[in-house]
Chain A
Amino acid sequence: MTGPIDTLRRMARLMVGMPDYDAYLRHMADHHPGARAMSRTEFSRDRQAARYGGRNGGRCC
């Protein structure tokens, strides 16, 4: 799971603002057992809205 290819894949996704879905699921399982976690599709829509909501300053010149 943590080979160089996987790291690159996660890096490429985070470069466009998409955090790790598995890490999100782990977080939900560890800290909010019983609560409903977002599906992968909901998760990516949620993160897309968060990245471009304008609150994060976007990117540099």
Chain B
Amino acid sequence: MIRHLPWLLTAIVGAVALWVVAVSRGESVNALWIVVAAVSCFLVAYRYYALFIARHVMALDPARPTPAIRRADGLDYVATDRTVLFGHHFAAIAGAGPLVGPVLAAQMGYLPGTLWIIAGVVLAGAVQDVMVLFISMRRDGKSLGELIRMEMGQVAGTIALVGAFMIMVIILAVLALIVVKALAESPWGMFTVAATVPLAVAMGAYTRWVRPGRIGEVSLLGLIGLLAAIVYGQSVAASPVWGPAFTFTPVQLCWILIGYGAVASVLPVWLLLAPRDYLSTFLKIGAIAALAIGIVIMAPALKMPAVTPFVNGNGPVWAGGLFPFLFITIACGAVSGFHALISSGTTPKLIASEAHAPLIGYGAMLMEAFVAIMALVGASILDPGIYFTMNSPAALIGTDPASAAAAVTAMGFPIAPDLIAQTARDVGEHTIISRAGGAPTLAVAMAEIFSHVVGGPAMKAFWYHFAILFEALFILTAVDAGTRAGRFMLQDLIALAVPSFKDGKGHAPGVIATALTVAAWGFFLYQGVTDPLGGVNTLWPVFGISNQMLAAIALMLGTAVLFRMKRARFAWVTALPTAWLLACTLTAGWLKLFSADPKVGFLAHATRFDSAATAGELLAPAKSMAQMRQIVFNDRIDAALVALFLAVVLALLVFTVRTCLAARRSPVPLAREIPLRGEAVA
């Protein structure tokens, strides 16, 4: 009994902190309460729920050889120390998602997001990650698509692959859009990010020819180069010649990114991708750690209300009410389907013992949820007036401080035009108005926190551009690596119909698949950039729906496997979060298609613009008939995409139910694990 005492205390601390966060109204609440509440909940959940899943649901067997033992080759399959592997897995799952979603969700106040992140990760997100890791670990480290094929049949596996490819396309478009939003009209930011290209190439040459394999050394040199670029960027932005040369409109940036994506993804990896990956990975981990330390030292008060009136829908940042839209806006951080691809990627090939699965699968996801909590805290310590100025579309608030201040004050968040102008000056930007996408908002918050700890107000502009650089850097790395991954996914899919499209036969299939992948995300990026409502408004919900649907698919696989293992009495562990995710995504998908509110429903929006165009009218913000037609076309494409996602997830639901029923009828377990001794399964 005595060993439970510290955990009981942790639980009490967590409950008190949650209570303070939940019931305080009117007085200012310190952000540390949220941090304490989250950390205590995560610790208790790990100690009890993760271990319950490990011991009882999965019945992990430490004596059972993992793929790293069975197929050890010193390269792909290597039994790895669990701390080392934890870092690897965390670095692979944590990206821009957990930083952006919570910032956007802050429009409803800090309370709904906090509660969803904590409950979502404990009951759904971390369960999904560890479950997929478990399933893959018992099947030679096979990938999600192969696992679904093995356990649910060929057709189900192919449908899942099509869904995964479309999700990849949307993720790449959204990530690129965030970069566009952060770098448009910002010569300082643009210069520092552009400088990373020659910097990475120099690093690549260094590791290729001068000192091969010295990752630490070259990363340190690269970091010095980065800091120099940030410092020098200020003078570049101020220069009458170079300032305008690095100032780009969103549409120009969109084409630059599409061109960059196409070129970067066919260059040799050692030249650009690998060295920049070193920089972005280490910078990401460093910035996350620094943010945690900064928040603890600064102990800022939350300025955002616990709950804003926008929980009823009609918020300016994204449309729709708390249910279901909050639960798809915060995807990564609470539960992220994309992690199923990582948990069935390299990690199961490196795990040394089944006993390590809870720490790596469940634990790393808790850590990511902590990152999401920090992003939410960051958005909530800003003046709400600044938050809504930065995140509302220009169509609503105009583009100059006076109109923005008037519009945001009218929303119920009083702010003076001077404060808007002053904040922009503080961070060294021309304007902070309508810079949706999460990254700029988070950068202002990080500048606030970091300058409090190091350097004071004079350092704000430096820290702002440091934060923008850190976000842009790993997003660009993800765009580059994601385009390559998307290309192979597409090649595999096309090869199902046209076998000669497989890898290895000449360059043409690779080039065609790369071009198609870039064109696909480029299309959505262009649509987002030219979207009168700012793009994030439209694309983020589509991304959230697709990502949560992939999570539902992974959890359905988990449920099917538990049934096939004859452990159906524990299937609620995956079935309950599946049901919740299906409820959220199917409702959200349905509303995005058929809601009569043109702000929410794509088809209603299309109809409105279509009938206006037929009548010869122009509806703001379109300025020409061509733009009117463009809006209608985009709406219909988005609607078709959401319909496709709905069809994919419903089809897999049918396969899951059939698989579970068949497993119940069978007298023996059907799950196709690698036997304890013997050959690999077919």
Contacts and interface: CB of A to CB of B under 8 A. Distances in A.
Interface stretch (B15-23, B40-48, B67-75, B427-435): B67-75
Given A48-B269, A52-B269, A54-B484, A60 B336 contact: yes
A13 B175 CA distance: 25
A53 B430 CA distance: 41
Given A9-B216, A15-B88, A56 B345 contact: yes
Contact of A61 (B91, B285, B338): B338
Interface in B544-580: 547
Contact of B212 (A9, A17, A40): A40
Contacts of B76: 50
A16 B274 CA distance: 8
Interface residues of chain A: helix, strand, loop or mixed (majority): helix
Interface in A31-57: 31, 40-41, 43-57
A25 B78 CA distance: 12
A61 to B, nearest CB: 4
Interface in B312-360: 332, 336, 338-339, 341-342, 345-346, 350
A56 B142 CA distance: 11
Contact of A15 (B74, B91, B543): B91
Interface residues of B, number: 58
Given A11-B87, A14-B87, A19-B78, A57 B487 contact: no
Contact of B74 (A7, A24, A57, A58): A24
Interface stretch (B92-100, B250-258, B643-651): B92-100
Contacts of A31: 72
Interface string B124-161: 00000000000000000001000000000000000000
Contacts of A60: 92-95, 97, 332, 336, 338-339, 341-342, 478
Contacts of B281: 15-16
B87 A15 contact: yes
B278 interface: yes
A55 B489 CA distance: 8
B81 interface: yes
Interface residues of chain B: helix, strand, loop or mixed (majority): helix
Contact of A47 (B75, B80, B81, B282): B75
Given A14-B80, A45-B270, A49-B269, A56 B171 contact: no
A27 B273 CA distance: 29
B544 to A, nearest CB: 11
Contacts of B543: 61
Nearest to B78: A19
A54 B487 CA distance: 8
Contacts, number: 141
B83 interface: yes
B534 interface: no
A46 to B, nearest CB: 7
A16 B92 CA distance: 9
Contact of B215 (A18, A26, A51): A18
A12 B336 CA distance: 24
A56 B332 CA distance: 20
B26 to A, nearest CB: 37
A50 B73 CA distance: 14
B81 A7 contact: yes
Given A16-B215, A54-B485, A61 B80 contact: no
B310 interface: no
Contacts of B259: none
Contacts of A28: 74
A32 to B, nearest CB: 9
B189 interface: no
A58 B75 contact: no
Contacts of A61: 95-97, 171, 174-175, 332, 336, 338, 478, 543, 547
B84 A52 contact: no
B440 to A, nearest CB: 18
Given A47-B75, A48-B274, A49-B269, A58 B481 contact: yes
Interface string B209-251: 0001101100000000000000000000000000000000000
Interface in B473-526: 477-478, 481-482, 484-485, 487-488
A14 B278 CA distance: 11
Contact of B143 (A18, A23, A57): A57
A6 to B, nearest CB: 10
A10 B213 contact: no
Contacts of B350: 14, 19
A15 B285 contact: yes
Nearest to B477: A59
Given A15-B91, A45-B212, A45-B270, 10 more contacts: A16-B278, A18-B215, A19-B74, A28-B74, A41-B213, A43-B213, A52-B484, A59-B481, A60-B92, A60-B97
16 contacts: A7-B84, A10-B84, A11-B86, A13-B216, A14-B350, A16-B91, A16-B281, A21-B213, A41-B212, A44-B213, A52-B484, A54-B485, A56-B346, A60-B339, A61-B95, A61-B478
Interface pairs A-B: 7 shortest CB-CB: A27-B74, A11-B87, A44-B213, A58-B481, A24-B74, A54-B484, A52-B269
Interface of A: 7, 9-21, 23-28, 31, 40-41, 43-61
